[in-house]
Structure 1
Amino acid sequence: MAAILAAVTAIAAIVLYFVRRHYRIKLQSLLLAQPANSRQLKEIADHVAGEIGAGSLRQYVKMWGAIEVDQPLISELKEEPCVYYSFTVSREYEERVRQEDSEGKVTWTTERRSETISQNRRSTPFYLRDQHGRIRVEPEAASIATIPVLDEFRPASSTNSLSFGGFSLSLSVNGGTGKTLGYRYREEILPCDRSILVVGAASDETGELTLGPSTEARQQFFIALKPENAVLQEVKQTIQWVTVGGIASAGVAAISAIAALLKLF
């Protein structure tokens, strides 16, 4: 038991290390990005074009504004207008599981499990408007904060297909392992007409001033639903909690490993 606990907590400590690393890079990105508005970016782009030619601007910035889009996406399940959506459809089922203890005693239990049978995500370019104008955003490669709009479970029926909003799927004849209980539909979106924070690289390489991913690995491209100060506070708190969790997991792993070794001697 001590060896198993040591292995589990060691894995948890490793996972938390990488989570902490991700959020530290996000914090560094937010602090590194230069605050900008649409007028400033256009002036900088014009200046750079005059000095070394059009299409040469590369500047890592953060900009707050409202989403504008002429032709929004319509999410597949909830059919909400948006500039980004992602959804998953999962089959929930019951399965008999065989368990054997250290004395060889066998017991059978019924466990509820799930498996993803369909998922998709889509985004569309949009404009970020502030009081001075607007800048194009290409969100495809961004880490995007979203709003959940659907989490619904529907019991299984006798039909061989699923349908929800604009989504449909034909089911296989065997229906998968175990006894199917039903299907869960989840969807989240980045809605239109929402104020957001975009942190990314401003470039005029395509001929239009655009916010997109940076070529620098440690400069994240992300879209947040909160202003900069709120995002900073949230990221710092996450780093603190993950650090505490990582230290605790590493400590438990070390103690459990020592206990397991002592049992061998």
Structure 2
Amino acid sequence: MHIVGFILIVVGISLFFVQRHQKQRAFSLKSARPTTVAELQQTAGAIAAEIGGGSWRDYVKVVGQISCDRPLVSELKQEACVHYKMTVTREYEETVTSRDKDGKTTRSTRRSSETVSSNQQSVPFWLEDATGKIEVDPQGAAIETIKVLDEFRQGEQAGNRLNFGQFSFTLSPGSSGRRTLGYRYKEQILPLGRRALVLATVSDGVGSLVLQKPLDGSKSYLISLKTDEELTQSAEKTAQAVFYGMVGCIVLGVILVVVGLVT
């Protein structure tokens, strides 16, 4: 019983960090200054005229439409985008032998999976509102994507190559005793033309204005297709729900540990 208690305490501690992250995101959304591209350009110009450019930074949130001069093409669906993430997973069955406390041996079939290929890429892009456009460097951002592919193709792959559209991958020899059921292909993208909110630091350090990852690690860097209100409410509700789960796990875990040690 005390072992279960220790596990619950560990889960509770993990939930503490999840809750802290969600609270930090909600605070970042509330503390960032809402602005437009034109306002950022005017502020940067005024500061550069007074003290010189290259050192101005501010924590802001900007809403605009995504565009890109040289967009990516996603590997699986071949969709134009500024960010994509893809995974190819092999699903298989294998026979597992187990032995109980009496020494009796049983065999059962277990279904599992393994990732055979995964990749993600991002490119800088423009965020354009009614007043102008600004470059976004997505490096280090938490990027919200949309799912464009989740397909399972049944059966063993002929030969040692996996093919899906333009995607091709050389398979390594599989483990003996595993029967391949098929391959699952998943892909998510941040597409062109969508309206997005970028929560970031604006900087003129490279000679032009760029939205980028904050130097302060306590500030979130987020590229989202949701509205400011939706993001804030979601973070606050998640933080509250996780808090109750954290308290419940820790309290119950302590009780089980005490009971287990006493009895």
The answer, yes or no, to whether TM exceeds 0.5 is: yes
Distance verdict in 2 for CA 1:10–1:105, change over 3 Å: farther
For 1:98, what is the secondary structure of its paired residue? strand
Deviation sequence 1:173-226 (CA, Å, 0-9, x none): x32352222111111011110001100000111111110011111111111111
Inter-partner Cα distance in structure 1 for 2:165 and 2:247? 46
Superposed displacement of residue 169, structure 1:
0.7
Inter-partner Cα distance in structure 1 for 2:24 and 2:119? 27
Residue aligning to 1:235: 235
Across the two proteins, how many residue pairs are aligned to each other? 261
Superposed displacement of residue 229, structure 1:
0.8
Inter-partner Cα distance in structure 2 for 1:131 and 1:124? 23
TM-score of the pair, normalised by structure 1: 0.93
Distance verdict in 2 for CA 1:14–1:97, change over 3 Å: farther
Return the letter of the residue paired with 1:180. T
Moved more, 3-12 or 245-254: 3-12
Percent identity over paired residues: 43
Return the letter of the residue paired with 2:66. I
Residue aligning to 1:101: 100
Inter-partner Cα distance in structure 2 for 1:257 and 1:106? 33
Superposed displacement of residue 107, structure 1:
2.4
Residue aligning to 1:47: 46
Q: Which stretches of structure 1, 4 residues or more, deviate above 4 A after TM superposition?
A: none
Are residues 1:135 and 2:141 paired?
Answer: no
Query: C-alpha root-mean-square deviation of aligned residues, in Å?
Result: 1.5
Q: How does 1:1-265 map to 2 (within 5 A)?
A: 2-155=1-154, 156-172=156-172, 174-176=173-175, 178-263=178-263
For 2:108, what is the secondary structure of its paired residue? strand
TM-score of the pair, normalised by structure 2: 0.94
Distance verdict in 2 for CA 1:79–1:109, change over 3 Å: same
Deviation sequence 1:36-57 (CA, Å, 0-9, x none): 1001100110111112211121
Give 5+ residue unaligned stretches, structure 1: none
For 2:107, what is the secondary structure of its paired residue? strand
Return the letter of the residue paired with 1:84. H
Superposed displacement of residue 62, structure 1:
0.5
For 1:208, what is the secondary structure of its paired residue? coil
Deviation sequence 1:20-48 (CA, Å, 0-9, x none): 11111111211121111001100110111
For 1:162, what is the secondary structure of its paired residue? strand
